C-alpha cells in the first residue's frame, strides 16, 4: 500500500549556519569562530505545509537555500523542526523515528557512502541494518549493482569511485530495503546527461511499483518531465503547488519570443508593444528584442508585418513555451539561478 | 529496541576492524611493548630499576593499552564519519533510535579495548621475562576492573569523538591523552607519589589513575594501591558521566 507524506506549518530556525545534516555534509562548520560571533538566526523553513499523495512523484523546486533540503531533512528524521509537524504515512516523524526510517529511503545531495566498505558491502550491510535475511540481501544487492551498472566495481572500495558512480551507489543503497517513500535530494546534480536519463527511468520504474517519490531539484527540465506534481519553494515557504502544466498555465504571458532583425529596432519596439497579447518588450543589443506575450506562434505573422512596415527584416525567431523558469520569475521576481 | 540493526552495526565494525587488523595491531601493541622492553627488561636487567618494578609496570601498561585502544576505536571513526563526508548517515537512517547507534559504538570500542588488554597481558609478560609476580587471585574483581576500564575507554572515546573536529585531533593527543597517561599512575603506583603531596592529590581527577590502580589491585594486590571500593565507585562515576556527555554530544552532532 502506497504511503503519503505530509507537513504542517513547519518552521526551522538554525542558530548557527550552516546546517550539516540538511546540507548533506557539504559545508564544514567551524565551531570556534561561531562562538565568538553573535549567534546568527537563520530561518530555513517558515511555515511550510505540503501534502504528497501516496504513489506520486512530487518535486520541490526552488533555488539554492530555499529550504528544500531542510524539508527533506525534517521528513527523514535528520533535522529537528523548531515547530510544526511532519508525517510519513500515519507516523509523526519526530515521535516515531524508527518506524518512519523503516518506510523511507534517502538519496542525499552529496553521496555519503561508508568509505570503509566496498560497494557491495555497502549494500549488504545497509540491508542488514534493516533486518533483511542474508540470502535475500545478497540477491538484491547483485540485482541492484547490475541495474546501476556497478557490477564490475562491486568488490572495490568506493574511495576511487567517480561522483556519478557514487551517486548511483547512493540510489541503489536507498532502494536496498525496498522503501515505500524514496527521497532524492538534488539527484541529478553533477550527473552526465546519459546517467541523468538512466536515473529518470529508474525513478519512474520505481514509482510504477506504487512507491511515493519526493525529489528536490533546481532543474526545470527534471521537474517538468519527471514530476506528477510540483511545489515551488522560496524562502522556506511554498509559493505554488500543482501539476507542471497547471503551474505553467497560471502565468500570464508565459511565452517568450526572442527576435532578431536586420536593422536597429528602436522605432520597431513601440510598434511591437502595441500588438495584441504582448505584455512586455525588452530590447536586446541594437538589432534584437525579447517579447513576453500570452501567445506564441500566432504572433509571428503580425510581428513580421510590423517589421516590414518599419523597414526591418525579421531574421530569426525563437519561441519558448511557458516554463517553470518563467513561473518562478513570475512568483518571486527572481530567476531560479539567482 | 532493534537488536537486528544493532547486531548488524557491530558486524560492520568487526568487519572493518578485521580489514585493518595489521594497522590496529601495530597501533595498539608496538608502543606498550617497546616501553615494557626498555623499562621492564633493560632498565631492571641493568640494575637501574628494582626487580619489583616489572610487576608494578605490567598492570599500568595494560591500562594504557586498553584506554588508548578504546578511545581510538570510538573517537577516530566518529570524528571522520561526522566530518565532510557524513559517512555515518547510512547508520543514522537505519530503523533504530539514534542513541543506540552511539551505544553500539561504545560496545564495539569496549570489545576492542578488552581484546587489547587481554593480548597485551601475556605479550608483556613474555617480554618482561622471569620475575613477574602477578596472579588473578580474584577473578570477579579482575573481570569487573577490565569491564569498567573498557567502558571508561569507549565512553571517553564517544565523548571526545563527538566534541572534536578533525583539525583538533593532534591537540587531543598532546593536551588530553599524553598528560592523562603520564599522570595516570601507569608507569608508577599512586603510593609512589607520597613525596609529592600536592601532585598526589591533583592526579586523583585523572580517571586513568583508577584504571591503573584498579588493575594493580586485581593483578598485584601485594603492591600498595588505592582502595578497591573507591576505585570501583569512581570508575562507575566517570563511566556514567562520560556516557551521558557522549550521548548528548552524539545526538547534537547527529541531528541538525
pLDDT category at A143 given cuts 50, 70, 90 is very high
- A-B CB pairs within 8 A amount to 103
Per-residue CA distances from A322 to A52, A252, A256, A259 (Å):
24, 9, 8, 17
Tell me what pLDDT residue A281 has: 81
Which three-class secondary structure state does DSSP give residue A242?
A: strand
User: pLDDT tens for residues A181-234?
Assistant: 999 998 887 778 888 888 899 999 999 999 999 999 877 778 888 999 999 888
Q: And the C-alpha cell for A227? A: 514530476
Q: Which domains does chain A have, with CATH numbers?
A: 5-30+39-249 (3.40.50.300), 255-321 (3.30.70.100)
Nearest-angstrom CA–CA distance, A82 and A41: 12
Q: Which residues pair with A48 in a beta bridge?
A: A10
- What is the number of residues in chain A? 338
Instruction: Report how far Cα A4 is from the mean position of its chain's Cα atoms.
Output: 18
From the list B2, B15, B91, the residue facing A98 with the nearest CB is B2
| Range of lowest pLDDT (A189-193, A325-329, B19-23) | A325-329
Domain extent for B24: 3-254
Tell me what pLDDT residue A198 has: 85
The reply to whether residue B95 touches residue A117, judged by beta carbons under 8 angstroms, is no
B83 touches chain A (CB under 8 A): yes
Shortest CA distance from B94: residue in chain A: A129
Nearest-angstrom CA–CA distance, A206 and A56: 11
B4 touches chain A (CB under 8 A): yes
Chain B residues with CB under 8 Å of A30 CB are 165
Total domains in chain B come to 1
Tell me what pLDDT residue A322 has: 67
From the list A30, A113, A116, the residue facing B16 with the nearest CB is A116
Nearest-angstrom CA–CA distance, B35 and A239: 68
Chain A residues with CB under 8 Å of B16 CB are 116-117
> Could you say which residues from 84 to 113 on chain B have a Cβ atom under 8 Å away from some Cβ of chain A?
84-87, 89-98
Instruction: Report how far Cα A165 is from the mean position of its chain's Cα atoms.
Output: 20
Q: Which residues contact A166 (CB under 8 A, 6 or more apart)?
A: A111, A113, A158
User: pLDDT tens for residues B23-34?
Assistant: 888 888 888 888
Shortest CA distance from A18: residue in chain B: B256
Nearest-angstrom CA–CA distance, B89 and B86: 6
Element (H, E) at A334: none
Contact A35, A63 (CB under 8 A): no
| Closest CA of chain A from B231, distance in Å | 36
User: pLDDT tens for residues A113-125?
Assistant: 999 999 999 999 9
- HSE-CB for A335 with a 13 A CA cutoff: 2
Q: Is the pLDDT of residue A292 over 90?
A: no
Identify which of B86, B73, B89 has the alpha carbon closest to the alpha carbon of residue A126: B89
| Closest CA of chain B from A268, distance in Å | 56
Amino acid at each position: 500500500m502506497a504511503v503519503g507524506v505530509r507537513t504542517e506549518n513547519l518552521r526551522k530556525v538554525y542558530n548557527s549556519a550552516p546546517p550539516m545534516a540538511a546540507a548533506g555534509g557539504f559545508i564544514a562548520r567551524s565551531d570556534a569562530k561561531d562562538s565568538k560571533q553573535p549567534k546568527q538566526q537563520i530561518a530555513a523553513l517558515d511555515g511550510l505545509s505540503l501534502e504528497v499523495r501516496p504513489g506520486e512523484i512530487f518535486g520541490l523546486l526552488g533555488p539554492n537555500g530555499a529550504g528544500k533540503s531542510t524539508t527533506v531533512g525534517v521528513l527523514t528524521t535528520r533535522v529537528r523542526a523548531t515547530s510544526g509537524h511532519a508525517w510519513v504515512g500515519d507516523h509523526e516523524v519526530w515521535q516515531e523515528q524508527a518506524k518512519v526510517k523503516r518506510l523511507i529511503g534517502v538519496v542525499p545531495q552529496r553521496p555519503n557512502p561508508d568509505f570503509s566498505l566496498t560497494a557491495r558491502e555497502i549494500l549488504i550491510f545497509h540491508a542488514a541494518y534493516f533486518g533483511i535475511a542474508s540470502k535475500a540481501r545478497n540477491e538484491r544487492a547483485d540485482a541492484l549493482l547490475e541495474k546501476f551498472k556497478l557490477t564490475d566495481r562491486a568488490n572495490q572500495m568506493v574511495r576511487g569511485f567517480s561522483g556519478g558512480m557514487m551517486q548511483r551507489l547512493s540510489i541503489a543503497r536507498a532502494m536496498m530495503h525496498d522503501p515505500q517513500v524514496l527521497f532524492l535530494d538534488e539527484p541529478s546534480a553533477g550527473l552526465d546527461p546519459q546517467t541523468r536519463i538512466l536515473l529518470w527511468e529508474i525513478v519512474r520504474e520505481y514509482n510504477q511499483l506504487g512507491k511515493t517519490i519526493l525529489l528536490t531539484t533546481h532543474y526545470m527540465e527534471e521537474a517538468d518531465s519527471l514530476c506528477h506534481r510540483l511545489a515551488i519553494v522560496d524562502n522556506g515557504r511554498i509559493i505554488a503547488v500543482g501539476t507542471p502544466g497547471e503551474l505553467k498555465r497560471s502565468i500570464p504571458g508565459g511565452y517568450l519570443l526572442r527576435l532578431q532583425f536586420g536593422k536597429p529596432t528602436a522605432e520597431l519596439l513601440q510598434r511591437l508593444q502595441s500588438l495584441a497579447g504582448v505584455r512586455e518588450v525588452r530590447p536586446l543589443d541594437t538589432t534584437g528584442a525579447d517579447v513576453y506575450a500570452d501567445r506564441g506562434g500566432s504572433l509571428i505573422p503580425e510581428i513580421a508585418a510590423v517589421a516590414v512596415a518599419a523597414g526591418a527584416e525579421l531574421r530569426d525567431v525563437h519561441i519558448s513555451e511557458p516554463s517553470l523558469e518563467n513561473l518562478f520569475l513570475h512568483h518571486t521576481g527572481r530567476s531560479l539561478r539567482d | 529496541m532493534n537488536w537486528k540493526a544493532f547486531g548488524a552495526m557491530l558486524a560492520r565494525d568487526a568487519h572493518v576492524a578485521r580489514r585493518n587488523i595489521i594497522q590496529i595491531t601495530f597501533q595498539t601493541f608496538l608502543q606498550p611493548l617497546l616501553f615494557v622492553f626498555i623499562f621492564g627488561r633493560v632498565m631492571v636487567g641493568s640494575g637501574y630499576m628494582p626487580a619489583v618494578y616489572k610487576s608494578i609496570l605490567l598492570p599500568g601498561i595494560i591500562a594504557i593499552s586498553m584506554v588508548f585502544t578504546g578511545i581510538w576505536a570510538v573517537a577516530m571513526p566518529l570524528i571522520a564519519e561526522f566530518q565532510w563526508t557524513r559517512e555515518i548517515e547510512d547508520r543514522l537512517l537505519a530503523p533504530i533510535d539514534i542513541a543506540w547507534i552511539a551505544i553500539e559504538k561504545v560496545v564495539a570500542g569496549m570489545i576492542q579495548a578488552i581484546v587489547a588488554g587481554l593480548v597485551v597481558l601475556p605479550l608483556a609478560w613474555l617480554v618482561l621475562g622471569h620475575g613477574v609476580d602477578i596472579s588473578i587471585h580474584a577473578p570477579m574483581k579482575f573481570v569487573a576492573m577490565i569491564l569498567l576500564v573498557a567502558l571508561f575507554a569507549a565512553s571517553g572515546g564517544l565523548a571526545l569523538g563527538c566534541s572534536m573536529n578533525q583539525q583538533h585531533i593532534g591537540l587531543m593527543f598532546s593536551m588530553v591523552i599524553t598528560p592523562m597517561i603520564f599522570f595516570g599512575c601507569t608507569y608508577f603506583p599512586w603510593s609512589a607519589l607520597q613525596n609529592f603531596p600536592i601532585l598526589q592529590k591533583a592526579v586523583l581527577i585523572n580517571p586513568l589513575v583508577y584504571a591503573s590502580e584498579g588493575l594493580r589491585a586485581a593483578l598485584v594486590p601485594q603492591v600498595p594501591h588505592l582502595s578497591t571500593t573507591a576505585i570501583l565507585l569512581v570508575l562507575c562515576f566517570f563511566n556514567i558521566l562520560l556516557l551521558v556527555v557522549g550521548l548528548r554530544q552524539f545526538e547534537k552532532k547527529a541531528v541538525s
